[in-house]
Amino acid sequence: MSDDKINESILALETKEDEIQKQVEVYHRKLMAPLWKERREIVKGIPNFWASAISSAPMFNIQLNEEDIEILEHLIDFDVEYDDARPEYRKVIAVFKENTLIKNETLTKEFTVDDDESKVISKSVIEYHDGKEPTEKPKSGDDEDDEYIVHFLQWFGDESITAGVVLTDEIFPAAIDYYNGEDSENEDDEDIELGSDSEDEE
């Protein structure tokens, strides 16, 4: 078999693997949906649950500004809607109690996550209270820009996709782990600390 034929065969296999992976993700979300719904009701009784979960993710943890800190303190519900017929579709819904920063009770953003063309379908218009508008304009939303900074609140009104992927595919499914600080990076740190403790005990 020629090199070209081998490459074509490998490419075909990779395409099939991608399709199977998407099917697995859809099936997993379908199975988890009832549990996520139950979790949503339970965590409403935990003060600042979603604020803690979201702010513990590295993408947001190092980039929170005063505006984000203030609005996360008022975040009372957070949900993600998927579409079995469109595996690439995501809708983020954030609900806030009354606050002095924004007038919106609910912010939403719909977008697609696709290898060929990810795009924002719809986004909320953030209505700030008088004098609360950010002094700095948000970045263009170009995720390839190394200087692009993600701010949780402003993300709902910009054209960014990357932060949405983190919110919908990482933080939301594993929200309890993030709330407890048990995301993958923290687990590595814990392993190092446990190792040090063992040496001290010896």
pLDDT per residue over 134-179, tens digit each? 876 655 454 454 455 789 999 999 999 999 999 999 999 999 999 9
Q: Does the pLDDT value for residue 78 go beyond 60?
A: yes
Q: Does the pLDDT value for residue 190 go beyond 60?
A: no
- The arithmetic mean of pLDDT across residues 41-56, rounded, is 96
- The arithmetic mean of pLDDT across residues 57-74, rounded, is 90
What's the pLDDT at 150?
84
Q: Does the pLDDT value for residue 184 go beyond 50?
A: no
Both tokens of residue 42?
Answer: 């339970």
When comparing pLDDT for 93 and 200, which is higher? Answer: 93
Domain range summary for the chain, segments of one domain joined by +: 47-201
What's the pLDDT at 167?
97
Q: Does the pLDDT value for residue 3 go beyond 90?
A: no
How far lies 89's CA from each of 81, 127, 164, 171, 180, in Å?
A: 8, 26, 11, 16, 28
CA 122 to mean position of chain CA atoms: 17
**Average pLDDT of the residues of the chain:** 86
Q: Does the pLDDT value for residue 30 go beyond 80?
A: yes
When comparing pLDDT for 186 and 39, which is higher? Answer: 39
What's the pLDDT at 174?
97
Q: Does the pLDDT value for residue 9 go beyond 70?
A: yes
What's the pLDDT at 199?
43
- CATH topology classification for 47-201: Arylsulfatase, C-terminal domain (3.30.1120)
